[in-house]
Structure 1
Amino acid sequence: MIRFKILSLCCFLFGMQSINAQLSYDTPESVGLDSIYIKTNVDSIMRDAIIQKAFPGAQLLVAKQGKIIFHEAYGFHTYDSIQKVNLNDVYDLASVTKIAGPLPALMKLYEMGKLDLDAPFSTYWKDWKHKKDKKDITLRELLAHQSGIKPYIVFLAEVYKNGKVKKRFIKTEKSKRFSSQYYSDMYVKNRFKNKIYRHIKRVKADGKKEYLYSGVASLIYPQIIEDITGVPYTTYLQDNFYKPLGCTTLGYLPKEKNFKNAIVPTEIDTVFRKTLVNGWVHDDNAALLGGISGNAGLFGSATDLAKFMQMLVQNGTYANKQYFKPETVKEFTRIQYPENNNRRGLGFDKPIIGNDTLSIKEAYPAPQVSPESFGHAGFTGTFVWADPKNELVFVFLSNRVYPSRTHRNIYTLNIRPKLQQLFYTAIKD
């Protein structure tokens, strides 16, 4: 009996240590993995990807049991091989913004009882109150992509026509009415946000309660968060999450922050900006909102993303500070509509249902991730994934859209699933 109590106490203390852990660097062997197997195979996959122009450079960070066991950089910022990728480089995170930007704020407001996942979203977004196709859609349905709302709206068409910029919406100099910045010498009319909201008011929902990925609602989450909290969206994120977590690079508008870290460029924009996009958000809709949006706009380093994801792996606690209750994390990271073959959690992406039965080519992400795992990918070539069952955090950052988004070998070569799978098969004998 005494031995059982001591064992129980040890398990409890180990659990507390794990929950309160702060990421530190260690070797793969410290968690039972083979460093030579990992390094040899990661190097091979990365070299082949760069040769085949999947991306000019990338970095990979993997943490297991609260220890960063692998963090390496490969290649260069661009194919001219001038600036090497460094471990502290800052990337445009694209749609990873959805889970690292508005989602933690929505989670906290839900936890505080200020948001009801199953109430009509029109309770919070009055524009939909009298729209028959949208008035009964819930936040749960929106976050799980079960709302039937069309996937995307191209707002760039509103400011650019026949190769020319509409000067009533875009100016080259900042002023009181044009203070929302699109690019270094492009300022959007402040009231353009209202035009975006009017489009979202009229956006069609097909009424089908089935999986259809849509980023439209993400555009309005920051406004919802401001309306409920009375605090500017970016301030709320910094004060409640990024600063306490020690995420020094994670945030919007990196050009305003005088980082010592290099910012990795994305695409050579041949349509609108007519230059290499570097330090400004790649996504046009987020850019037209001044770079601050719920669908895209976040920039950050691999280590900052790892801290955020590790906090979620540890059920909402990191370095002795609780950000969420464990039941909140569990609710948002579970599959919401499995009966409809919809794999999504609330905001978080999840593995394909039956993923462990699929080949590496068919699976998403790697076949051996647990059903409890979650994460998100970004259009620019970013990918983050957390597996609480296996205590593993996987952060992959690249600029696969350089020089053009037509470069799709990151997908055809299955680079990210192959890399992720290595950390499930690298068990030391």
Structure 2
Amino acid sequence: MKNYFFILFGLFLSPVFAQEGKSVPIYNSNTSGLTHAHPSEVGLDSAYIHTQIDSIITNGIKNKAFPGAQVLVAQRGHIIFHKAYGFHTYDSILNVALDDLYDLASVTKITAPLPALMKLVDEGKLDLDVPFSTYWKPWKRRKDKKDITLREILAHQAGLVPYIVFLNRVIKKNGRLKHRFVKNGPKPGYRNQAYEGLYIKDRFNRKMYRIINRSKVSNDKTYSYSGLTFLIFPKLIEQLTGRSYEEYLQTEFYRPLGASTLGFAPAVKNLPNTIVPTEIDTLFRKTLTQGWVHDENASLLGGVSGNAGLFGTANDLAKLMQMYLQYGTYAGKRYITSGTIKEFIKTQYPENENRRGLGFDKPLLNNQNLPLSEAYPAPEASASSFGHSGFTGTFVWADPKNQMVYIFLSNRVYPTRKNRNLYTLNIRSAIQHVFYQASLPLEYDR
């Protein structure tokens, strides 16, 4: 087994590491953004990493967990591994490229609405512990919702319904679309584009909000994942900022970070990047989904949502995750106060066996004691670490203690969401595990 001491003590505390018999500085200045470095420059065994990751990914492609994928890892502010594997589809025509755009699915939750909510908490425009109905007025009239707090919502401790299939509202029993909600071209009152030739009624979002507002709340206040409020967060953010959700994110976060590819509905934008397809949709779009959000609920909002819909490259995702890891700063600019970041990444209700932070996912409560096959994520990930997974086969994780950012991107839903080998093979945790195990011997061990 690789030197575990490196991870638990040396990587976090020691300013230098041994590389081929000499000390190597590993710190990256907070005034610069992510830079590139060889794994050995941060004390990691490059040959071991490449051999292990290549094997895991090749096995995943062989077992059709995904047609292709890419992995990016940053350590101490340096990108020390970024590699693409396989193809966009199983016909092996188009190789995965490092600058490809991916549908991030639920990773959207922590990369779009969440930074905005954190900034609004910083500014005193949101309070985690007052009733959410203070800000979302329709809940004032709902007896079962009027006292729920934003903290409970973001920690998935509020008893909200996990998911509502809004697509059922626009599709008839015979499978045809209801034309009062969907048109085949842009028309007055139908400007929200869900796909080529699919335009949703502008006011359909209000129907979605009403259904969410009237949805049931469980009396059992235990951990139950729910993405419902992430559908209404964009509207709330607009109400509190007086700016459009997209423009606010671009101005306050993505552009200053230099994360130019992060955004919604890339099919209608002039980006030079190739967009990785997701599922061959046989129900709604009746074709291969590419450049438009895979999630149907986000699609019915015109692709701009808080639950899903964000696209981006691994490099740009890494910049945002590095900002989180550095408690709100990146390249010398502060985006969110460190106190707010630390509060959001903290496990909120461990006494209720709820591992979650505020919006962020966290390791299983006893993760460090589990074998890799049962752990989530890798068992070596510190208790301070945080991230999120996405339905399309995406995963992002940041570990402040070990100064590691891990990005995994794939389209495991191609050609169908029934493909679950990404999970059964435990690929994402297995890859992360390699980087914790990849330490070179320290100089005094030689």
Question: What residue number does 1:338 align with?
Answer: 350
Q: Is the 8 A contact 1:89 1:262 kept in 2?
A: yes
Match of 1:90 among 94, 101, 108: 101
Question: What residue number does 1:402 align with?
Answer: 414
1:216 aligns with 2:228: yes
Task: Within 5 Å, give how 1:315-354 maps onto structure 2.
Answer: 315-354=327-366
Alignment: residue pair count: 418
Q: CA RMSD in A?
A: 1.3
Q: Deviations over 1:291-350 (max 9, x none)?
A: 000000000000000000001111111111000111111000000111111000000000
1:427 aligns with 2:439: yes
- Equivalent residue of 1:207, what SS? coil
Question: What residue number does 2:63 align with?
Answer: 52
1:134 aligns with 2:142: no
Task: Within 5 Å, give how 1:29-428 maps onto structure 2.
Answer: 29-162=40-173, 163-428=175-440
Alpha-carbon shift at residue 207 of structure 1 (Å): 2.2
Q: Deviations over 1:197-240 (max 9, x none)?
A: 11011011112221000000100000010000000000000000
The letter for the 2-side match of 1:104 is P
d(CA) in 1 for partners of 2:318, 2:231:
25
Question: What residue number does 2:444 align with?
Answer: none
The letter for the 2-side match of 1:120 is P
d(CA) in 2 for partners of 1:112, 1:127:
23
d(CA) in 2 for partners of 1:411, 1:155:
26
Q: Deviations over 1:381-400 (max 9, x none)?
A: 00000001000000000000
The letter for the 2-side match of 1:374 is F
* Identity, % of aligned positions: 61
d(CA) in 2 for partners of 1:260, 1:187:
25
d(CA) in 1 for partners of 2:379, 2:439:
16
d(CA) in 1 for partners of 2:135, 2:369:
41
> How does the TM-score come out when normalised to structure 1?
0.96
Question: What residue number does 1:6 align with?
Answer: none
Unaligned runs of 5+ in 2: 1-14, 17-24, 442-446
d(CA) in 2 for partners of 1:384, 1:32:
22
Alpha-carbon shift at residue 354 of structure 1 (Å): 1.1
d(CA) in 1 for partners of 2:204, 2:298:
12
d(CA) in 2 for partners of 1:390, 1:18:
16
- Equivalent residue of 1:129, what SS? helix
- Equivalent residue of 1:165, what SS? coil
> How does the TM-score come out when normalised to structure 2?
0.92
d(CA) in 1 for partners of 2:220, 2:291:
39
d(CA) in 2 for partners of 1:21, 1:206:
47
Unaligned runs of 5+ in 1: 1-9
4+ runs deviating over 6 angstroms: none
